[in-house]
A and B are shown apart, each in its own frame.
Chain A
């Protein structure tokens, strides 16, 4: 074989190889899983509730994969632990975008952490559903790429004060942990009490870790309010109940936002948990589409009942899937426009947002711990039990 022949053959072979590689490229991309990136608070003070949220996402992805994924591609979830710290979350979402080249993103646990990553989403132009960011100040004209996937923080425990007032309560104490979500709830409940003509006899904010709850509980005991509203996360929710008991005070209505719904709450407090009121964006007897199956599948997969955090995580993946299938693409501009224009039925209720991405469809119902179990007490048409008052602290 002459050198010319050899060169011709090499050129022909390399040409064919290139042609084959071009032909193969679209097929390989189609087979490659869609990478969905997120952070979750696997450690730190938000870990108890964040785990439920992440499990909800995992279930939705498992279900989607069982049906062949989205756009004919399987889904792959990449999750990093943000340690309940906003700064860590920003670093990890940057990594998901720049190093892992995530196709889609889902928001982290808590309003504070979401607030920290919102500018990054705007800069990188990722349309992100935020399953755990309830504060409305994230969904403003400057933040064009964030969509609220949970009820607004202004609605947490919103149903309690009118109910208590109807039953003769007139004085309120409001406590708020210094975090974005709890402070938004704190301000909203104080404003609501004043609007209802109820007297706010005590209010204070505090920070974790381990504040001295005893002196706050004693101050509230001196003020003798009918209703105590704690805008809390799990650790302080537990600490406050113990401190009230230690100071020998049991308000008629004792409500806390985040914490009581977690199974660990009743384990930590035993009988003291009975009578504590909280709220939920989803409950197993909600008549929303897919709610029953969601509860069954979740229990089968994680050997525990889901809560509203699980429903929010589950719903976020479902809505994102609807947007991807609706646009038949992973193009962030198209997904963003679709999310603004459409309503998606989720287990929490209808996902529907205004021009700034603020939820217009989700709401919160009240639950109460009775005999060691959570019972839905509002709305009346779905309630499993009547609200039991007064809280006895026993």
Chain B
């Protein structure tokens, strides 16, 4: 029974990691933009949800569609101004995107500090549990896990079975080739960035129910997302999902048997090992 509980804890933790990492992966996969402001979008949405729910008494799950739409628009407004001009810079675009999103991250963190202060906050919502045959399930973690499953499923089917999804994949694999086939690559990049920001922000709205968050936790979330994406392989949606789940289970086991210190350091140890053995990520290794 203990083994099952540990496995479930790990999978649920992995579910939160899927949420944290998959949107970063989408933006990189389509545009080759390393979005260092990723954690800031998560944190801003989390803090906004806390603030909004505390004032209106609204369930954070009702706030979720508001956050998704608003952040999609914000992402759609930022992309043409900050990211699109870099796309003509050829090989320098990735490096320039690092600098631009680093600046954006700094601005967003300062805005969050100014608006909501520096305190860690968390929402007391869905704190109760279900018990099934001796296994305890946190309602909040289950809800987050279900959203993670929904996002992965939507990304998978959206990218592989819709014409717009195929356009996204085509634009990520060969922007010139996609343009020659009549795909509006600029529009595809705009949509991908806006969707990435909206997904990251949705993750923030859900995670505030689980993790205490402050404006300055943004960078930690960005680092965690990078570790997971690097493990799974940049631009590999299935690989990143597998990496997030494996990491969750590994941390759950390590935390139980060896304590918090080992669980903390484990993602980085695994990352070093994977980078040495399979530099292309776990998915390519499989």
Contact status A205-B255, CB under 8 Å: no
Contact status B140-A268, CB under 8 Å: no
Size bracket, chain B contacts: 35 or more
Contact status A214-B118, CB under 8 Å: no
> A210, A213, A267: which has the most chain B beta carbons within 10 Å?
A210
- Chain A residues, Cβ within 8 Å of B257: 219
Contact status A235-B255, CB under 8 Å: no
The smallest C-beta distance from B49 to any residue of chain A, in angstroms, reads 13
Q: Is B238 an interface residue (CB 8 A)?
A: no
Contact status B121-A212, CB under 8 Å: no
Q: How far is the CA of A348 from the CA of B256 in the complex (A)?
A: 40
| Residues of chain A in range 37-68 having any CB-CB distance to chain B below 8 Å | 42-45, 47-48, 51
Q: Is A21 an interface residue (CB 8 A)?
A: no
Q: Is A292 an interface residue (CB 8 A)?
A: no
Contact status A207-B216, CB under 8 Å: no
Q: How far is the CA of A269 from the CA of B127 in the complex (A)?
A: 8
Binary flags per residue of B243-275, CB closer than 8 Å to A gives 1, else 0: 000000001111111011101100000000000
Q: In the complex, what residue of chain B is closest to A43 when comparing beta carbons?
A: B118
> Interface residues of B: mostly helix, strand, loop or mixed?
helix
Given contacts A43-B118, A205-B259, A242-B122, contact A215 B129 (CB under 8 A): no
Contact status B210-A207, CB under 8 Å: no
Contact status B212-A238, CB under 8 Å: yes
Contact status A212-B251, CB under 8 Å: yes
- Chain B residues, Cβ within 8 Å of A212: 13, 251-252, 255, 260, 263
The smallest C-beta distance from A84 to any residue of chain B, in angstroms, reads 8
Given contacts A206-B263, A268-B212, contact A215 B122 (CB under 8 A): no
| Residues of chain A in range 241-289 having any CB-CB distance to chain B below 8 Å | 242, 245-248, 264, 267-272
Contact status A216-B212, CB under 8 Å: no
Contact status B211-A214, CB under 8 Å: no
Choose one: A207, A218, A267, A268; the contact of B9 (CB below 8 Å): A218
Q: How far is the CA of A175 from the CA of B255 in the complex (A)?
A: 13
Q: Is A239 an interface residue (CB 8 A)?
A: yes
Q: Is B183 an interface residue (CB 8 A)?
A: no
- Chain B residues, Cβ within 8 Å of A239: 122, 211-212
Q: Is A308 an interface residue (CB 8 A)?
A: no
Q: How far is the CA of A10 from the CA of B141 in the complex (A)?
A: 85
Contact status B216-A242, CB under 8 Å: no
- Chain A residues, Cβ within 8 Å of B210: 242
Contact status B264-A214, CB under 8 Å: no
- Chain B residues, Cβ within 8 Å of A43: 113, 118, 215-216
Q: Is A168 an interface residue (CB 8 A)?
A: no
Q: Is B56 an interface residue (CB 8 A)?
A: no
Contact status B6-A218, CB under 8 Å: yes
Given contacts A209-B220, A235-B212, contact A47 B136 (CB under 8 A): no
Size bracket, chain A contacts: 35 or more
- Chain B residues, Cβ within 8 Å of A213: 260
Contact status A245-B260, CB under 8 Å: no
Contact status B264-A45, CB under 8 Å: no
| Residues of chain A in range 122-173 having any CB-CB distance to chain B below 8 Å | none
Given contacts A43-B113, A246-B141, A267-B54, contact A210 B217 (CB under 8 A): yes
Q: How many A-B pairs with Cβ below 8 Å?
A: 136
Contact status A215-B113, CB under 8 Å: no
Contact status A270-B261, CB under 8 Å: no
- Chain A residues, Cβ within 8 Å of B251: 212, 215
- Chain B residues, Cβ within 8 Å of A219: 255-257, 259
Q: How far is the CA of A241 from the CA of B54 in the complex (A)?
A: 20
Q: Is B5 an interface residue (CB 8 A)?
A: yes
- Chain A residues, Cβ within 8 Å of B12: 214
- Chain A residues, Cβ within 8 Å of B263: 206, 211-212, 215-216
Q: Is B124 an interface residue (CB 8 A)?
A: yes
Q: How far is the CA of A272 from the CA of B2 in the complex (A)?
A: 25
Q: Is B168 an interface residue (CB 8 A)?
A: no
Q: How far is the CA of A6 from the CA of B181 in the complex (A)?
A: 93
Q: In the complex, what residue of chain B is closest to A272 when comparing beta carbons?
A: B127
The smallest C-beta distance from B120 to any residue of chain A, in angstroms, reads 4
- Chain A residues, Cβ within 8 Å of B136: 246-248
Q: How far is the CA of A270 from the CA of B117 in the complex (A)?
A: 21
Q: Is A199 an interface residue (CB 8 A)?
A: no
Q: In the complex, what residue of chain A is closest to B110 when comparing beta carbons?
A: A43
Pairs A–B under 8 Å by Cβ, sample size 29: A42-B118, A43-B215, A43-B216, A44-B214, A44-B216, A45-B216, A47-B117, A51-B119, A204-B259, A205-B260, A206-B263, A209-B217, A210-B211, A212-B13, A214-B12, A215-B251, A215-B254, A215-B256, A216-B256, A218-B2, A219-B256, A234-B212, A235-B212, A235-B214, A267-B121, A267-B124, A268-B124, A268-B212, A270-B127
10 more A-B contacts (CB under 8 A) besides A44-B216, A212-B251, A248-B131?
A: A47-B120, A175-B260, A214-B9, A215-B263, A245-B127, A246-B141, A267-B124, A268-B121, A269-B124, A270-B124
- Residue numbers of B with Cβ under 8 A of A are 2, 5-6, 9, 12-13, 54, 113, 117-124, 127-129, 131, 136, 138, 140-141, 210-212, 214-217, 220, 224, 251-257, 259-261, 263-264
